[in-house]
Structure 1
Amino acid sequence: MGANAVVGLRYDEKKQKYRAGTGPKGNAYWKSRVTRVWTGTAVTLARPHEISDAILPDVRRGDRFVIDGSNVMHWSRDEPELRDVLAVIEILRARGARVHVFFDASAGHRLVAGYRGGRDFARALGLRSGEVTVVDQGVVADVPILQRARATGATVVTQDRYRDHSGLTDGVAILSGRIEDGRVILHPHAPLGA
């Protein structure tokens, strides 16, 4: 399968001289121009039909979920896969849920060997830019994830138990999971801090 999403696009400008012609005395004359050399980073994402039906608890239209993207991208194997995050998003959105995805600043480096911001991830995941947050370098995404979940009443999708942040976990609901043989498996935990 070829790449089907571009998560980074940039250009470098080069100034170059070129022979523009010959003058009346047979002398060459030169001009200069600026050219742009574009470089893109392409990734391959699984589409929903490549991910079989999920096993998950009842999800109703309008339910809110905060997805720990840096955690979920490791659900099917040790190497990070953006398609794992995409599969979870597609399953939840197909049931009418609202999602917001958080990534650590290092997530782009682990996926495509370069920093990627929220807009890059949003494009790759088919979300609006306001539905994805990449935290600043040096900031662990756990705190913003828990703060958003508490502020919006959202359920967090992760395998993390946030033991280092017990002061922020009271009442936060967790859906833990994995991807096994192409199937998203989600199961609820008792609310954190309970």
Structure 2
Amino acid sequence: MVVPVLLLFLSLIGVAVALLLPGYDALLLLAVPCAIAAFILWLRAALSGKKAEPNWILIDGSNVMYWRDNTPQIETLREVIAYLKQHRHTPAVIFDANAGYLLAGKYQDDHIMAKHLGLTEDRVLVVPKGTIADSYLLTVARDFDAPIVTNDRYRDWADDYPEIAAPGRLIRGGYRDGALWLDGMKTPTPA
């Protein structure tokens, strides 16, 4: 984006010189097309809307929902999500199929859980009944090279997913004196 702006600026200086100083009229033949081309380049760069790659982080929803008082609570997940967003992460949550029963007494699909969490549906997955969420979670973490927020160590999966032993891959957390903490992350300062 800097190069098109610089080219536009220099081209406009050339146009100004050609218009203001006698004997430089021929400079208009070069400066005007350059200014138009630089403006088009700047406009394309501005409208391309390139966004930074998401800084993905997965949340083991069925584990994290128990962090406060050892009872399943949607508020705990909301707080963890807010915490991660403050640290410029893009959180996604994966739940066991029974999570809705534990939180609300009835089945809740991706759409409903996403709504409760304030996330888009594409960032929440409730695995199908009879499926182990750990395999989904570990596969997605591998595919996106993302860490997982959980207190589970996934020891049964270590042979199939050796990367979980890497430092920072599994982020432990919980509450101390009523305050949320996550390993390796500083407490966010209030806005």
Give the structure-2-normalised TM-score: 0.64
More helix by share: 2
Counterpart of 1:75 (choices 67, 78, 96) is 67
Shift of 1:181: 3.3
Counterpart of 2:83 (choices 60, 80, 91) is 91
Code of the residue aligned with 1:165 in structure 2: it is W
Residues 67 and 100 in structure 1, CA contact (< 8 A), matched pair in contact too: yes
The alignment's C-alpha RMSD in Å is 1.4
SS of the residue aligned with 2:132? coil
Counterpart of 1:174 (choices 127, 148, 170) is 170
CA distance in 2, matches of 1:125, 1:181: 24
Unmatched 5+ stretches in structure 2: 1-52, 185-191
Q: State yes or no: 1:132 paired with 2:124.
A: yes
Residues 147 and 168 in structure 1, CA contact (< 8 A), matched pair in contact too: no
Unmatched 5+ stretches in structure 1: 1-60, 189-194
Aligned residues: 128
Residues 162 and 169 in structure 1, CA contact (< 8 A), matched pair in contact too: no
Shift of 1:168: 3.1
Task: Provide Cα deviations, 1:109-162, integer angstroms capped at 9, x if missing partner.
Answer: 011110000110100110000000000111111000000001101000000011
Give the structure-1-normalised TM-score: 0.63
Q: Which moved more, 1:177-186 or 1:108-117?
A: 177-186
Residues 76 and 180 in structure 1, CA contact (< 8 A), matched pair in contact too: no
